[in-house]
Amino acid sequence: MNSTRSAPPSERALTPAAARTGLRSPGSISVRGLTQSFGDKVALAPLDLDIEPGGVIGLLGPNGSGKSTFMRLLVGLVPLQAGEIWVDGLRLEGDGVEIRQRTTYAPGELHLYGELRGRDQIAFLLRGRDRATRRRAEATAEGMGLPLDKRVRGYSHGMKRQLVFAAAMAPDVRIRILDEISEGLDPAKRSEVLDLIEADAKSGTTILLSSHHLGEVDRSCERLVFINAGKLIADETASSVSERAARIVRVTYPEGVNLDDVPRALGESVAESMRVEGRQLHVMLETDDPRAFLEALGANRSLPAPVAIEHGKLSLRELYRSLYGVEGT
């Protein structure tokens, strides 16, 4: 994981009082006992989380894990059922108008007006903001090559995503909440978006970024928060996740092979842990060097020949499964 700043927020210890009550400072996000259901479906189980001011925090999890619900709750777009939310030093009350004035939120689902020109769509997205804010959004959009005098119905999905991103980056606020902001972008445009996010974070802005791209969070995030089935399952520095991900080896065997005896046949000395799942052997090495394990694997003639061996190249879905034992899409 690449990180240019020291002392990531998740490594700074909270005082006993802060640990009990959460953060209340400008630029921070704090939730206590956050619970949300839609009918019989539990979207968020009781969830506690503190995010200190400044930096890029990755919010990760499978589809349907509760990420988008969590983000919408933070800005009052979903009625709060139980728990407390504090954003930028303000407690969420009612419909969250005051919090939305002091943050920006870019939703994962795009609902734009096709008949509007790009420039007019920016004005609509930033209604209530001043002219200078709209001009900044236009400058960002034009810098990304968007034709602002063209009707939005003629935009590609990626162009629409960039338009929403440009609007979200324009207001002078302490917190930005970006839901799958680079989804649908090609690698060059994604890199351009991340450049702007990283520059904004270096100026002190707190950015909560949900993503399905491992390279994206690998590059930009200092801290990773994993949610699954509405529950917080991990909250770690990005460097810690990167270090553990580099020690994972996955060995895939042919159909019909019984793998139950493979860990015992290899012996405990070659790895920190091994787990069989379907046709795959998930291995956590003691270091990021797989050679000793691969030598032991090749030397044991009693084992079936694998069809694939993977090390160091994991998607987020594979990372969920290997590190936390949950499925992701």
- pLDDT at residue 320 in the model: 66
The closest alpha carbon to 323, from 60, 10, 44, belongs to 60
Place of tokens 């969420």: 92
Give me the phi and psi of 284, to 5 degrees please.
Answer: -105, 110
CB neighbourhood size of 201 (10 A): 22
pLDDT digits (tens, 9 = 90+) for 233-245: 888 888 888 888 8
pLDDT in tens, 130-184: 999 999 999 999 999 999 999 999 999 999 999 999 999 999 999 999 999 988 8
User: Would you say residue 1 has pLDDT above 50?
Assistant: no
Q: CA nearest 5: which of 310, 223, 159, 210?
A: 223
Cα distance between residue 134 and residue 186, in whole Å: 26
As annotated, the residues of the chain forming the CATH 3.40.50.300 domain(s) are 25-229
Does 64 have pLDDT greater than 90? no
Closest CA to 144 of 127, 126, 109, 168: 168
pLDDT given for residue 22 in this prediction: 57
Q: What is the pLDDT of residue 316?
A: 62
pLDDT digits (tens, 9 = 90+) for 175-224: 999 999 988 899 999 999 999 999 999 999 999 999 877 777 878 899 99
Read off φ and ψ for residue 255, nearest 5 degrees. Answer: -60, 145
d(CA 162, CA 181) in angstroms, rounded, equals: 8
Q: To which residue do tokens 């420039």 refer?
A: 119
Q: pLDDT per residue over 79-131, tens digit each? A: 888 999 999 998 988 778 889 989 999 998 888 999 999 999 999 999 989 99
Model pLDDT, residue 17: 41
Q: State the SS3 of 312-325.
A: CCCCHHHHHHHHHC
The alpha carbon dihedral of 259, 261, 267, 271 has a sign of: positive
pLDDT of 15: 40
- pLDDT per position as a tens digit, 286-295: 888 888 888 8
Exposed/middle/buried for 177, CB within 10 Å: 0-12, 13-18, 19+? buried
| Greater model confidence, 151 or 20 | 151
Ranges in the chain annotated CATH 3.30.70.330 = 243-324
| pLDDT tier, 317 (very low <50, low <70, confident <90, very high otherwise) | low
Instruction: Quote the CATH superfamily of domain 25-229.
Output: P-loop containing nucleotide triphosphate hydrolases (3.40.50.300)
Q: Percentage of the chain surpassing pLDDT 90?
A: 41
Name the pLDDT band for 33 (thresholds 50, 70, 90).
Answer: very high
φ and ψ at 119, to 5 degrees?
A: -65, -40
Decide which of 3.40.50.1100, 3.30.565.10, 3.40.1280.10, 3.30.70.330 is the CATH code for 243-324.
Answer: 3.30.70.330
Sign of the dihedral through C-alpha 130, 133, 137, 139: positive
- Rounded Cα distance, 66 and 198, in Å: 25
Residue 3 pLDDT greater than 50, yes or no = no
- 8 A C-beta contact, residue 322 and residue 314: yes
More confident residue, 322 or 132: 132
| pLDDT tens digits for range 39-57 | 888 888 899 999 999 999 9
